[in-house]
C-alpha cells in the first residue's frame, strides 16, 4: 500500500477483477492510495465488526439463527458487503456494492498491519477473521460458493463413485447431516485429517487411514483451513516488514492505537496489587467470586489440592485480583501442605509454576488471567478436575443443587438454567451476579472472571476495603471450620453449605463498623 498524498490513476482496472465476488480470499494487497482519514475509518469499522464477531461467538452458537441475524445487521450498519448482491445497484444514500467490497478489502489489510505485531494479537485477529469468513462463506448461495472456489483456484481431491458406494454406510454414520441421498448426490473430498481439524475434533467426519472424507456441504471446513493457514503465514510475513511501516510516524500511533483499542482489557495489570490480605479470601470467595472461582476455591480448601488446570485458572485469577507473588506462594503452600504435599515437595514441584504465572521464571511471560471465553472453550475439565465454567461444564442437576445451596431463589434458578440450556453461559453467570448482588440490571457485559470480581467489589464498596489482619483466635476458628467442611461430596447432601455458612460468619469480621 502506498500512503502518499497524491492519488495515482491506475490504468488497467484490476479492481473489477479484484472485487468480482462479494467474498475475498485477500490474496492481493490493495495497490491504490488512500487518505489517512479513510485509512482510519476503515480500520475502526472493521474492528467494530470483528469485535461483534467475537462477542456473538461467545453468546451464541456460531451456526445459530440469532448469530446470523445479529451479524447480518452489523454488516449493514457498518456497510460491509453482505451476501452476493447480484448487480451493483446503487442503494439510496448508501455506498455501492463496489465501495463496500473495496472497504472490506482495504480494511482487512490495514488490520493485518496493526495485528501482526505480537503472538496474542495475531491469534485474536486470525480467530475473528476466520469466524467472519466462515459466516460469510456459509451464507453464500451454492453457485456462489462454487464460483468462489473457482476464482481462487481452490481444488480438492474427490473420491470415485465406487469408493463412495463402498463407504456409504460409514459416511452416513459419520455426520448427522449426511444421508443416503447426500452420499449419492454430493462430491466427497478426501483430504489429510490435518486439514479438517474442526471436523476431526468433533468427530463429525469419517476418518480412515489418516484421511477425512468430507461431503461437499462441509467444504467450508477445508476452505477455512486454507484461509487460516494463509492468513497466519501472511501475518508472519507482514510482521517482518513491519519496521518499515513503524518508522512512518503518521501510521505508527494509529496502528498502536488500533491494536490496543479492541482487544479488551486483559486484567493482568492490577492497580490493586497488595490490597487484599489472604485472610479475606474465604469471604471474598463467597461475596465476589464468580461461580467458577468459588468452585475452585472450595475444592482447594476441601482437598488441599488442585490439578494443573485448576491451579492455572485460579492462580491467574488470584494474581488478577491483586495477590502479590509472595502472597500467592504462601496461599498455595499453606493449603497444599495440609494435603499430601509436604513443604519441601511444594517448593520443588509447585512453587516454580506459581512464580512462572507471575512471570518470574522461565520465559518470563506475564500470564494473563483467563477470560470467560477461554475458560468456556478451552481445556474442558476431566476426571479429578474442578476448573472450567460451572455453567458450561456442570451437569444442570448439580448446578441446580449448588445454586440452591447458595440460597438462590427457585425462580432465579430457573432463569439461570434456561440460559444455560440456550448455551448462554455468560448471560447465566451475569444473571447469577444480579441475583446475588440484588440488582435488576448489571450495567456491564460479562466476559471475564476478574471483571466479575471488580464489578462485584464496586457494588459492595469493597474498593475501599483496606487490608487488615485477623487476630490469632479468629484464624484458628477459620481453620477448624474449614477442616470441618472437608466432607466427601457423596456423603453430604449439601457439601457447600458448611463452607458457605462458615465464610458468611467470617464476613462480619470485615464489615466496616
Which does residue 262 bind out of another protein, ligand SF4, none, counting CB within 5 to 8 angstroms by kind?
none
In whole angstroms, give the CA distance from residue 311 to residue 328. Answer: 11
Q: Tell me: does residue 372 bind ligand SF4 (CB under 6 A).
A: yes
Name which of residues 406 to 425 contact ligand SF4 (CB under 6 A).
425
DSSP string, 13-67: -HHHHHTSSSS----SPP-SB--HHHHHHHHHHHHHHHHHHHHHHHHS-TTSHHH
Which does residue 375 bind out of ligand SF4, another protein, none, counting CB within 5 to 8 angstroms by kind?
ligand SF4
Q: Is 429 annotated as a binding residue?
A: yes
Cell numbers placing 339: 494435603
Which does residue 381 bind out of another protein, ligand SF4, none, counting CB within 5 to 8 angstroms by kind?
another protein
Task: Say if CB 455 and CB 433 are below 8 A apart.
Answer: yes
Give the residue with the Cβ less far from ligand SF4, 259 or 371.
Answer: 371
Instruction: Kindly list the distances between the CA atom of residue 50 and the CA atoms of 21, 71, 116, 381, 468, in Å, as whole numbers in the listed order.
Output: 21, 10, 15, 29, 44
Q: Tell me: does residue 389 bind ligand SF4 (CB under 6 A).
A: yes
In whole angstroms, give the CA distance from residue 395 to residue 361. Answer: 37
Give the residue with the Cβ less far from another protein, 275 or 386.
Answer: 386
Interface with ligand SF4 (CB under 6 A), residue from 30, 215, 309, 390: 390
Q: Is 116 annotated as a binding residue?
A: no
Give the residue with the Cβ less far from ligand SF4, 57 or 390.
Answer: 390
Cell numbers placing 340: 499430601
Task: Say if CB 431 and CB 441 are below 8 A apart.
Answer: no
The least CB distance from residue 368 to ligand SF4, in Å, is: 14
Task: Say if CB 258 and CB 47 are below 8 A apart.
Answer: yes
DSSP string, 240-289: HHHHHHHT-TTHHHHHHHHHHHSS-----S-TTTT---GGGHHHHHHHT-
Interface with ligand SF4 (CB under 6 A), residue from 30, 57, 81, 290: 290
Q: Tell me: does residue 289 bind ligand SF4 (CB under 6 A).
A: no
Which does residue 6 bind out of ligand SF4, another protein, none, counting CB within 5 to 8 angstroms by kind?
none
Give the residue with the Cβ less far from another protein, 150 or 360.
Answer: 360
The window from 304-312, 338-346, 383-391, 468-476 that contacts ligand SF4 (CB under 6 A) reads 383-391
Give the residue with the Cβ less far from another protein, 394 or 447.
Answer: 394
Interface with ligand SF4 (CB under 6 A), residue from 215, 369, 449, 495: 449
In whole angstroms, give the CA distance from residue 67 to residue 89. Answer: 27
CB atoms within 10 A of CB 315: 24
Which does residue 85 bind out of ligand SF4, another protein, none, counting CB within 5 to 8 angstroms by kind?
none
Phi, psi of 462 (to 5 degrees): -70, -15
Give the residue with the Cβ less far from ligand SF4, 309 or 390.
Answer: 390
The DSSP letter of residue 127 is: H
Half-sphere exposure of residue 296: CA atoms within 13 angstroms, side-chain side: 26
**Radius of gyration of the CA atoms of the chain, in A:** 27
Using CB under 8 A as the criterion, which residues of the chain lie in contact with another protein when the complex forms? Answer: 170, 172-176, 193-194, 197-198, 200-203, 206-211, 295, 299, 308-309, 344-345, 348-349, 363-364, 379-388, 390, 393-395, 397-399, 489
Q: Tell me: does residue 399 bind ligand SF4 (CB under 6 A).
A: no
Residue whose C-alpha cell is 494435603: 339
Interface with ligand SF4 (CB under 6 A), residue from 171, 429, 454, 502: 429
Instruction: Kindly list the distances between the CA atom of residue 248 and the CA atoms of 33, 41, 239, 242, 419, in Å, as whole numbers in the listed order.
Output: 15, 19, 15, 10, 49
The least CB distance from residue 197 to another protein, in Å, is: 4
The least CB distance from residue 353 to ligand SF4, in Å, is: 21
Which does residue 206 bind out of ligand SF4, another protein, none, counting CB within 5 to 8 angstroms by kind?
another protein
Which does residue 349 bind out of ligand SF4, another protein, none, counting CB within 5 to 8 angstroms by kind?
another protein
Closest of 398, 399, 386, 404 to residue 497, by C-alpha = 404
Q: Tell me: does residue 291 bind ligand SF4 (CB under 6 A).
A: yes
Q: Sheet of 206-208: strands edge to edge?
A: 188-192, 211-215, 206-208
CB atoms within 10 A of CB 272: 15
Cell numbers placing 390: 460451572
Give the residue with the Cβ less far from ligand SF4, 220 or 291.
Answer: 291
In whole angstroms, give the CA distance from residue 198 to residue 175. Answer: 13
Q: Is 372 annotated as a binding residue?
A: yes
Q: Tell me: does residue 452 bind ligand SF4 (CB under 6 A).
A: yes
In whole angstroms, give the CA distance from residue 148 to residue 27. Answer: 13
Which does residue 372 bind out of ligand SF4, another protein, none, counting CB within 5 to 8 angstroms by kind?
ligand SF4
Which does residue 291 bind out of another protein, ligand SF4, none, counting CB within 5 to 8 angstroms by kind?
ligand SF4
Q: Tell me: does residue 292 bind ligand SF4 (CB under 6 A).
A: yes
Interface with ligand SF4 (CB under 6 A), residue from 426, 436, 457, 485: 426
Q: Tell me: does residue 391 bind ligand SF4 (CB under 6 A).
A: yes
Closest of 22, 227, 28, 18 to residue 144, by C-alpha = 22
The binding site comprises: 292, 372, 389, 429
Binding site for ligand SF4 (CB under 6 A): 290-292, 372, 375-376, 389-391, 425-426, 429, 449, 452
The binding site for [4Fe-4S] cluster comprises: 292, 372, 389, 429
Amino acid at each position: 500500500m502506498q500512503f502518499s498524498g497524491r492519488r495515482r490513476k491506475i490504468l488497467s482496472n484490476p479492481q473489477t477483477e479484484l472485487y468480482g465476488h462479494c467474498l475475498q480470499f485477500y490474496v492481493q494487497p490493495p495497490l491504490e492510495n488512500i487518505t489517512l482519514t479513510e485509512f482510519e475509518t476503515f480500520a475502526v469499522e472493521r474492528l467494530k465488526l470483528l469485535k461483534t464477531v467475537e462477542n456473538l461467538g461467545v453468546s451464541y452458537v456460531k451456526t445459530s439463527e440469532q448469530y446470523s441475524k445479529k451479524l447480518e445487521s452489523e454488516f449493514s450498519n457498518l456497510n460491509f458487503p453482505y451476501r452476493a448482491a447480484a448487480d451493483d445497484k446503487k442503494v439510496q444514500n448508501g455506498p455501492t456494492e463496489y465501495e463496500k467490497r473495496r472497504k472490506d478489502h482495504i480494511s482487512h489489510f490495514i488490520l493485518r498491519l496493526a495485528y501482526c505485531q505480537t503472538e496474542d494479537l495475531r491469534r485474536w485477529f486470525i480467530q475473528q477473521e476466520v469466524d467472519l469468513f466462515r459466516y460469510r462463506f456459509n451464507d453464500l448461495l451454492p453457485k456462489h460458493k462454487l464460483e468462489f472456489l473457482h476464482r481462487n483456484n481452490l481444488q480438492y481431491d474427490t473420491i470415485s463413485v465406487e469408493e463412495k458406494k463402498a463407504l456409504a454406510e460409514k459416511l452416513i454414520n459419520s455426520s448427522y447431516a449426511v444421508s443416503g441421498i447426500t452420499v449419492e448426490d454430493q462430491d466427497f473430498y478426501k483430504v489429510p485429517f490435518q486439514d479438517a481439524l474442526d471436523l476431526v475434533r468433533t468427530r463429525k467426519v469419517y476418518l480412515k487411514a489418516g484421511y477425512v472424507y468430507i461431503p461437499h456441504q462441509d467444504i467450508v471446513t477445508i476452505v477455512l483451513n486454507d484461509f487460516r493457514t494463509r492468513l497466519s503465514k501472511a501475518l508472519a510475513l507482514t510482521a517482518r516488514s513491519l519496521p518499515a511501516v513503524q518508522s512512518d510516524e503518521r501510521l505508527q500511533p494509529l496502528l498502536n492505537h488500533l491494536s490496543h483499542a479492541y482487544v479488551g482489557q486483559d486484567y493482568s495489570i492490577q492497580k490493586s496489587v497488595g490490597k487484599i490480605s489472604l485472610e479475606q479470601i474465604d469471604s471474598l470467595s463467597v461475596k465476589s467470586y464468580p461461580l467458577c472461582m468459588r468452585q475452585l476455591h472450595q475444592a482447594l480448601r476441601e482437598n488441599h489440592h488442585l490439578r494443573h488446570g485448576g491451579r492455572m485458572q485460579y492462580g491467574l485469577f488470584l494474581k488478577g485480583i491483586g495477590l502479590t507473588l509472595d502472597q500467592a506462594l504462601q496461599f498455595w503452600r499453606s493449603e497444599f501442605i495440609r494435603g499430601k504435599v509436604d513443604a519441601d515437595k511444594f517448593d520443588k514441584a509447585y512453587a516454580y509454576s506459581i512464580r512462572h504465572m507471575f512471570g518470574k521464571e522461565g520465559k518470563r511471560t506475564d500470564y494473563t488471567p483467563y477470560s470467560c471465553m477461554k475458560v468456556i472453550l478451552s481445556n474442558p475439565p476431566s476426571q479429578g478436575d474442578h476448573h472450567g465454567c460451572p455453567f458450561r461444564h456442570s451437569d444442570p442437576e448439580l448446578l441446580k443443587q449448588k445454586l440452591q445451596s447458595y440460597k438462590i431463589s427457585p425462580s432465579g434458578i430457573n432463569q439461570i438454567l434456561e440460559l444455560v440450556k440456550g448455551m448462554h453461559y455468560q448471560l447465566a453467570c451475569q444473571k447469577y451476579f444480579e441475583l446475588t448482588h440484588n440488582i435488576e440490571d448489571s450495567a456491564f457485559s460479562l466476559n471475564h472472571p476478574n471483571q466479575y470480581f471488580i464489578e462485584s467489589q464496586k457494588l459492595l464498596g469493597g474498593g475501599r476495603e483496606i487490608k487488615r489482619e485477623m487476630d490469632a483466635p479468629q484464624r484458628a476458628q477459620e481453620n477448624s471450620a474449614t477442616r470441618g467442611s472437608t466432607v466427601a461430596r457423596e456423603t453430604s447432601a449439601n457439601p457447600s453449605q458448611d463452607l458457605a455458612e462458615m465464610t458468611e460468619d467470617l464476613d462480619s469480621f470485615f464489615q466496616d463498623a
